[in-house]
Structure 1
């Protein structure tokens, strides 16, 4: 086997072994990082956060002047 054919053959073997591993592990595809659930805020919580941020900005402007 010459080196030009070696890398494609190795890639085929790696793919075959990964598929076998996934079958043995009980999955059909490799597991990736799970997307985290998006956490939503209530309107009341957003209003509290906005008010607190406005208060921080007002304090920063007051100290800067």
Structure 2
């Protein structure tokens, strides 16, 4: 082996050891600017898939109860508005009937 290949192997060994140290100490690998050398290995990170969230039965029951209250509130408002409209129309009919009928004076 010639001296150049020995130095290249030593450099690659040093870079692998620095990467191992960085992983163990959880610090970033110090990189020089420019394109990386071919002898350096690239560390690939594996993406972790997020786990599905699971709702408890108690949580589902609370949400269902709250939704039922919202529906009841909206139904009450609709019924109240309909009742108010009926009362108003009856009152306007009575008022218009009393104005239209002339009173007989004896």
**Larger relative contact order, structure 1 or 2 (CA cutoff 8 Å, min sep 6):** 2
- Normalization by structure 1: what TM-score? 0.45
- Normalization by structure 2: what TM-score? 0.30
